[in-house]
Chain A
Amino acid sequence: MKKLLQRIYSWIDERVELQGLVEYMGKKYVPVHRHSIWYYFGGVSLFLFIIQVVTGILLLLYYKSGEELAFESINFIMSKVQFGWLIRSIHSWTANLFILSAMIHMFSVFFEKAYRKPREITWVTGMFMFFLALGFGFSGYLLPWNELAFFATKVGTDIAGVVPIIGKPLMIFLRGGDEVTGATLSRFFGFHVAVLPGLFTVFLSIHLLLVQRQGMSEPLDIKKETEQKTMPFFPNFILRDITLWLLVLNLLAILAVFFPWELGKKADAFASAPAGIKPEWYFLYMFQTLKYIPSKLWFLDGEVLGILLFGIAGLLWTMVPFWDRKSSRGEQNRFVNYLGLFAVLYIIIFTIIGWLV
């Protein structure tokens, strides 16, 4: 066995010169300290993304886009295709876990100030991927063409239409028309399986390349210690990563069996919206915030104000490597910590409120 692997390696090496790469990979080290645990979340997010791609491709083989058949095709996958129930439930659960894991990853990076020089672009590409992930969630949610999704999309695109100046054209672009129809479904399908994956891959490649090139960032306070423990990226960190990934996979399987993802009723454009429509949890805090803003503030519509606030907040958050000078200099920045804490608490509290209401 070893001889065979050796021969394959030599064959490739003679043509591509792997030696340099192998040496380089061998030299990668991961710092080991009390915050090391957070390093794993990037990998978990990546793993979950890969799961999405694989299950997504499998679903593509049986999913039929279009008003007449979308719902029925998912019913078909859940009931007639062997292990279809498993693939689909894993895909739906992973979507949620992926966004959760990405959020944890983002916040841990934020609190560790890992975005500071030289890792500004890593942060920015990461934020872009996060926004794309939300787009994945929003577009994918509509694809079963069930009642909840139909109305959630209606509400969501309505809110998009509220953005000043570009809102209306944006809404029509998203909906493929004035209303949510089969045209919307077609567009969202295109976004979900082609446009967003393409964009995501670009940013992911840059992100991973940078991480490989620059290695793992160390927390500011840890750097002061003299003795820095490390472990080799390959094979130690990789194997630990894989162990964790296995447990995550097991969790997904358990969720798929005991908490299968519902399908609900087929969307009926002529029916009235069911009571208590709310978006998926990762949009809930924004949705709930909008409910609390009074309908008119100064000269602005409450909704417009809400959208603008979140837009500005998102922009500032994405640009943090550029305005947080202190961290770039290696200094502690308490303000950023408080800001991060506020954001986390805000999101958690408003998500809970939105869920309970």
Chain B
Amino acid sequence: MKQRIFLFAAILIVVLASRESAFANDKCLACHRIAEDKPSALFLHDIHYAKGITCAGCHGGNPNADEIEQAMDKKAGFIGVPKGNDISKACAACHSSSEKMKSFGSSLPTNQWEILQASVHAKLSLKGKEHIAQCVTCHNSHGIVSVKNPASPVYPLNVVKTCSRCHSDIMLMRSYNPSLPVDQFEKYMTSVHGKRNAKGDPKTAECASCHGSHDIRSAKDVKSKVYASNLPGTCAVCHSDTEYMKAYKIPTDQYKKYAKSVHGIALLQKHDAGAPACNSCHGNHGAAPPGVESVSKVCGTCHALNADLFSSSPHKKAFDQRKLPECETCHSNHEIIAATDQLLGVAPEAICSHCHNETQNVKGYRVAKKMRGLIDSLEAVEKRDQELVYEAEQKGMEISEAKFRLRDVRQARLQSRTTVHAFSEEKFTGIITNGLKISAFIVAESESAIREYYFRRIGLAIATLIITLVALFLFLFVRRLEKKQNK
């Protein structure tokens, strides 16, 4: 027995001695390694360890002291396990100082703590004393590696899991913001981005790609990367980068096209928050282009009338059978420009002529031709009515009723453009006929007013002529009379 104890002590001494020489400058680590606790085990893989930073580098204290009282002495700067914001402050002590970072040969940014303070994660936690998230929340405390290291929790392939730790925790999220969804992870896994990420593609988008890392703000915050008017730009960071997207073989001109579109101009230039951004049609976490059959439903969330008319029109079946994406086929997906009447009809620039001509799909050809003819005639009629009303007005005639009805003609024309989507000759003709009827009334009133104007002047001329003649003759009569009287 004595021999065993002796052997054990000898081994211990040898081990200790060897250990001591291995952790010559970091006595903290040396002891904690003997204790074999988790933090010290992790720390061996830590980049800070690799750079020669001791435990005291974050925890303070004296890393050269052998005895625990001196090593973990408050007077030597030991702060123990920092709690709350003190954790991040400890990180920031170096990471926010460019000199310190340069001295370790690092070109990392030094503004993370500053940015974090302005982010949504800097809001006070439930306890009310510290930020919701500290540096270590996402980066870990003791096994910190570079973001580019696949072992890092913030390596692209790991980010989603890291964020989900909190953001998929229903009870936790509810205690902060009950209206915030908690299904982002599930949705993400159904998306193209999520599927690729799961397969191991580090280039594809994950949480931080769109939301940022340290600068995460609420989506309602104007400065957020995912605020409505900022969102297209955020998607474009990857999707408009031809080099970056080379391997994926999808177009990279969507942003450019979108910026030219009605939706793009509305959102990006006019700041109309009601206009759709990329996520409105593609979804945000479950991002995927809408399927062929569902395009009209997606567009229909805003363009309800057109979508309904289309869905009950003969085009729905025809398009679905030919795998033609519904609204997109005529209106494009990203470069949606304001539809004009030129789109309708059988002329070469009209879109109907792509499928309908004199020999193919003839019925549609006839209907398209008729519809275009009708809408053109209504437009011409409306213009002419405006001119007539203007003329009557300028002549000073009372024409307010007809002028008021002009609105209805215009309304009929606008409604007919929506009705086109029913692709029904009967429905379309009905609306146009209504407009033409109102126009007929306007024309009748205006022409009558203009005729009245001329009638008055001609009538006056005639009356003046008569009166002048009668006055003249009367005068001559009186003169003659008086001549006779004076004889």
Residues of B within 8 A of A216 (CB): none
Contact indicator A242/B474 (Cβ below 8 Å):
yes
Residues of A within 8 A of B398 (CB): 75, 78-79
Contact indicator B464/A250 (Cβ below 8 Å):
yes
Instruction: Give bound CA distance, A253 to B457, whole Å.
Output: 10
Instruction: Give bound CA distance, A180 to B19, whole Å.
Output: 108
Residues of A within 8 A of B482 (CB): 231, 236
From A86, A236, A250, contact of B467 by CB (8 A): A250
For window 14-40 of A, CB contacts with B under 8 Å fall at none
| B1 located at the interface, meaning its Cβ lies under 8 Å from any Cβ of chain A in the complex | no
For window 442-487 of B, CB contacts with A under 8 Å fall at 456-457, 460, 463-464, 467-468, 470-471, 474-475, 477-478, 481-482, 485
Instruction: Give bound CA distance, A236 to B481, whole Å.
Output: 8
The smallest C-beta distance from A279 to any residue of chain B, in angstroms, reads 25
Contact indicator A236/B460 (Cβ below 8 Å):
no
Contact indicator B464/A243 (Cβ below 8 Å):
no
Contact indicator A254/B460 (Cβ below 8 Å):
yes
Residues of A within 8 A of B464 (CB): 250, 253-254
| B396 located at the interface, meaning its Cβ lies under 8 Å from any Cβ of chain A in the complex | yes
For window 82-132 of A, CB contacts with B under 8 Å fall at 85-86
Instruction: Give bound CA distance, A119 to B380, whole Å.
Output: 73
Residues of B within 8 A of A54 (CB): none
Contact indicator A249/B474 (Cβ below 8 Å):
no
From A79, A235, A243, A254, contact of B471 by CB (8 A): A243
Residues of B within 8 A of A242 (CB): 474
The main secondary structure of chain B at its interface with chain A is: helix
Instruction: Give bound CA distance, A260 to B457, whole Å.
Output: 12
**A257: nearest residue on chain B (CB-CB)?**
B460
How extensive is the interface on chain A, given as a class?
A: 20 to 34
| A247 located at the interface, meaning its Cβ lies under 8 Å from any Cβ of chain B in the complex | yes
Residues of A within 8 A of B470 (CB): 246
The smallest C-beta distance from A305 to any residue of chain B, in angstroms, reads 44
From B397, B460, B474, B485, contact of A246 by CB (8 A): B474
**B470: nearest residue on chain A (CB-CB)?**
A246
Contact indicator A85/B478 (Cβ below 8 Å):
no
The smallest C-beta distance from B117 to any residue of chain A, in angstroms, reads 55
Contact indicator A247/B467 (Cβ below 8 Å):
yes
The smallest C-beta distance from A90 to any residue of chain B, in angstroms, reads 12
Instruction: Give bound CA distance, A341 to B470, whole Å.
Output: 38
**B468: nearest residue on chain A (CB-CB)?**
A250
Most buried by B among A239, A243, A247, A249: A243
Chain A 256-269, CB-CB to B under 8 Å as 1, else 0, gives 01001000000000
Contact indicator A243/B478 (Cβ below 8 Å):
yes
Residues of B within 8 A of A325 (CB): none
The smallest C-beta distance from B445 to any residue of chain A, in angstroms, reads 10
Chain B 421-458, CB-CB to A under 8 Å as 1, else 0, gives 00000000000000000000000000000000000110
Contact indicator B471/A246 (Cβ below 8 Å):
yes
Chain A 218-259, CB-CB to B under 8 Å as 1, else 0, gives 000000000000011001100110110011011001100100
Instruction: Give bound CA distance, A82 to B397, whole Å.
Output: 13
The smallest C-beta distance from A74 to any residue of chain B, in angstroms, reads 11
Instruction: Give bound CA distance, A78 to B399, whole Å.
Output: 11
Contact indicator B471/A247 (Cβ below 8 Å):
yes
From A235, A253, A260, contact of B481 by CB (8 A): A235
Instruction: Give bound CA distance, A253 to B464, whole Å.
Output: 8
Most buried by A among B396, B471, B482: B471
Contact indicator A253/B478 (Cβ below 8 Å):
no
Residues of B within 8 A of A257 (CB): 456-457, 460
**B463: nearest residue on chain A (CB-CB)?**
A253
Contact indicator A260/B396 (Cβ below 8 Å):
yes
Instruction: Give bound CA distance, A254 to B396, whole Å.
Output: 16
From A78, A79, A239, contact of B478 by CB (8 A): A239
Known contacts being A79-B398, A85-B456, A260-B396, is A240 close to B468, with CB within 8 Å?
no
Instruction: Give bound CA distance, A231 to B463, whole Å.
Output: 31
Contact indicator B463/A239 (Cβ below 8 Å):
no
Contact indicator A240/B478 (Cβ below 8 Å):
yes
Residues of B within 8 A of A75 (CB): 398
The smallest C-beta distance from B381 to any residue of chain A, in angstroms, reads 24
Instruction: Give bound CA distance, A235 to B482, whole Å.
Output: 10
Known contacts being A249-B467, A254-B460, is A243 close to B474, with CB within 8 Å?
yes
Residues of B within 8 A of A243 (CB): 471, 474-475, 478
| Between-chain CB contacts (< 8 Å), 27 pairs | A78-B398, A79-B397, A79-B398, A85-B456, A232-B485, A235-B478, A236-B481, A236-B485, A239-B474, A239-B477, A242-B474, A243-B475, A243-B478, A246-B474, A247-B471, A249-B467, A250-B463, A250-B464, A250-B467, A250-B468, A250-B471, A253-B460, A253-B463, A253-B464, A253-B467, A257-B456, A260-B396
Which residues of A pack against B, CB within 8 Å? 75, 78-79, 85-86, 231-232, 235-236, 239-240, 242-243, 246-247, 249-250, 253-254, 257, 260
Which residues of B pack against A, CB within 8 Å? 396-398, 456-457, 460, 463-464, 467-468, 470-471, 474-475, 477-478, 481-482, 485
Given contacts A239-B477, A249-B467, A250-B468, 14 further A-B pairs with CB under 8 A are: A79-B397, A79-B398, A235-B481, A239-B478, A240-B475, A240-B478, A242-B474, A243-B478, A246-B471, A247-B467, A253-B460, A253-B463, A254-B464, A260-B396
The 7 closest A-B pairs by CB, nearest first: A79-B398, A250-B467, A243-B474, A257-B460, A246-B471, A239-B478, A243-B471
